[in-house]
């Protein structure tokens, strides 16, 4: 790999030097029309550290240990739209996979101990306790709402258990001005931004206080005031929407970005690939955060793709990318903080692959023990639980006690149960709300509509 990198740098340097010496300028930053430029008469740059063979018009560079690169043919450069391409007499195919898998960035190990002395985004006591409190709240809310569905009190539910760090830590690294395009396993972002437990309950029970007026299934949250687009069950449709919104932010010179979340299964949808290409070409400030939790319902990643996960798909579209430990709250916070700054300052898309695990069933309609070992689930639930790992780090800093833990969990449980009871007692929306927000005016009764009279026909809003 090092020799290939050295070879590329040498060739890139040679192209730039040759373009400076030729009568026909060769601009690496432009997209000229296709043209073959003979280079046999061009002098060799004095700074090039290699061996030049004038007769064969080929060169080889020396590397440490006396090894030499395969010959690179330099008698022609393809001046191609998108940039010059150095031609070579050696036929080689790009490997279908790298020799090593892309490394995964982490700050804390499974025991909550820092794994490096290198600098990372510092998290003070107040922020850390707020993050932990929200992670615990999300965990308890998910557990109780799941039980409520099993009791027949709501029709459907889907939890984020095992993925609390991605939810809360990423939300903490963003601002309220950043626009969120979620999938359906990111209620923690709403929780962090101030969405109350009562608002969560109202939506799940579909009562008259639900912002969607009871027209959506449970967990399809949305909040205009919190810049959180309403959840859509259709997989991956939110990804290109986020790119379009990011383009709008760029045009308006807003100091904000869009953030879209999705699972590993969504990367098999065409929306994902089209969105990445669209974002790269338009150079917009958008963060693509993939929660790679190993399973797309019952389909494992081994049957989802043959690539090294999702992170390698970014560079293929010209997008800066990183893989991060999704169960490490500090690593997620640091990665998202830096990615957000790059996205806004440099107006560029960033792809973040967060490796995590879906400890819960996919939803209340699923039994994951039918397709994955119980031992595997239990291992991730206990040994690699993100909330417990963050708690251990708080303990070592002297910022948290068992008494505070007990009080927090007791208080949150009471609040969630109270919210459910209040939502359950609230009346349902009026049937008339079925058409609210879809037409400029409520249509008149059928017998009042004129025969073919366009003026009397209600106009549907697009």
CA gap 224, 189 in Å, rounded: 14
Q: Which of 220, 334, 361, 362 is catalytic?
A: 362
- Is 302 labeled as catalytic in the residue annotation? no
CA dihedral 132, 135, 138, 139 (to 10 degrees): -110
Which of 357, 358, 355, 290 lies closest to 319, judged by CA?
A: 290
Task: Tell me the three-class secondary structure of 245-268, residue by residue.
Answer: HHHHHHHCCCCCCEEEEEEHHHHH
Q: Which of 160, 170, 363, 368 is catalytic?
A: 363
- Report yes or no: 198 and 169 within 8 Å, Cβ to Cβ: no
Which of 355, 359, 357, 389 lies closest to 374, judged by CA?
A: 359
- Is 20 labeled as catalytic in the residue annotation? no
Question: If residue 406 lies in a helix (H) or strand (E), which one and from where to where?
Answer: helix 402-425
CA gap 356, 329 in Å, rounded: 11
Phi-psi region of 236 (alpha: psi -120 to 50; beta: other; left: phi over 0): left
- Is 363 labeled as catalytic in the residue annotation? yes
- Report yes or no: 349 and 280 within 8 Å, Cβ to Cβ: yes
Q: Which of 89, 97, 225, 233 is catalytic?
A: 233
- Is 347 labeled as catalytic in the residue annotation? no
Which of 383, 318, 386, 398 lies closest to 168, judged by CA?
A: 386
Q: Which of 62, 147, 407, 424 is catalytic?
A: 147
| Residues with active-site annotation | 147, 233, 362-363
């Amino acid at each position: 790999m090092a020799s290939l990198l050295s070879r590329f740098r040498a060739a890139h340097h040679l192209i730039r030097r040759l373009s400076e010496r030729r009568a026909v300028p060769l601009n690496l930053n432009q997209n000229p029309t296709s043209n073959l430029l003979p280079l046999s008469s061009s002098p060799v740059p004095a700074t090039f550290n290699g061996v030049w063979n004038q007769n064969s018009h080929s060169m080889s560079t020396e590397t440490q240990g006396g090894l030499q690169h395969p010959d690179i043919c330099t008698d022609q450069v393809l001046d191609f739209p998108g940039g010059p391409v150095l031609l070579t007499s050696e036929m080689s195919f790009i490997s279908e996979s790298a020799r090593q898998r892309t490394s995964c960035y982490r700050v804390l190990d499974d025991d909550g101990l820092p794994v490096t002395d290198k600098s990372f985004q510092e998290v003070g006591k107040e922020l850390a306790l707020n993050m932990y409190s929200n992670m615990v709240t999300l965990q308890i809310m998910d557990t109780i709402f799941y039980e409520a569905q099993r009791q027949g009190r709501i029709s459907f539910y889907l939890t984020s258990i095992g993925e609390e760090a991605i939810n809360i830590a990423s939300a903490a690294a963003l601002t309220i001005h950043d626009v969120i395009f979620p999938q359906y396993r990111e209620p923690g972002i709403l929780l962090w931004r101030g969405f109350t437990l009562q608002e969560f309950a109202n939506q799940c029970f579909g009562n008259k206080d639900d912002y969607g007026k009871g027209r959506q299934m449970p967990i399809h949250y949305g909040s205009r005031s919190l810049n959180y687009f309403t959840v859509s069950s259709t997989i991956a449709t939110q990804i290109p929407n986020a790119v379009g919104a990011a383009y709008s932010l760029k045009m308006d010179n807003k100091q904000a970005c869009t953030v879209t979340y999705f699972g590993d299964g969504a990367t098999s949808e065409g929306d994902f690939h089209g969105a990445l290409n669209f974002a790269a070409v338009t150079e917009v400030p958008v963060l693509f955060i993939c929660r790679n939790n190993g399973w797309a319902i019952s389909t494992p990643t081994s049957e989802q793709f043959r690539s090294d996960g999702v992170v390698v798909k970014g560079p293929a579209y010209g997008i800066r990318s990183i893989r991060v430990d999704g169960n490490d709250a500090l690593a997620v916070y640091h990665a998202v903080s830096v990615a957000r700054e790059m996205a806004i300052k440099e107006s560029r898309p960033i792809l973040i692959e967060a490796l995590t695990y879906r400890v819960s069933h996919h939803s209340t309609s699923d039994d994951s023990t039918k397709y994955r070992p119980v031992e595997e689930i239990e291992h991730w639930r206990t040994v690699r639980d993100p909330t417990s790992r963050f708690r251990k780090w708080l303990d070592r800093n002297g910022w948290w006690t068992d008494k505070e833990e007990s009080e927090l969990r007791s208080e949150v449980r009471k609040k969630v149960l109270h919210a459910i009871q209040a939502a359950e007692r609230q009346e349902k929306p009026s049937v008339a709300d079925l058409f609210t927000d879809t037409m400029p005016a409520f249509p008149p009764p059928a017998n009042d509509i004129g025969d073919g009279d366009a003026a009397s026909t209600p106009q549907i809003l697009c």
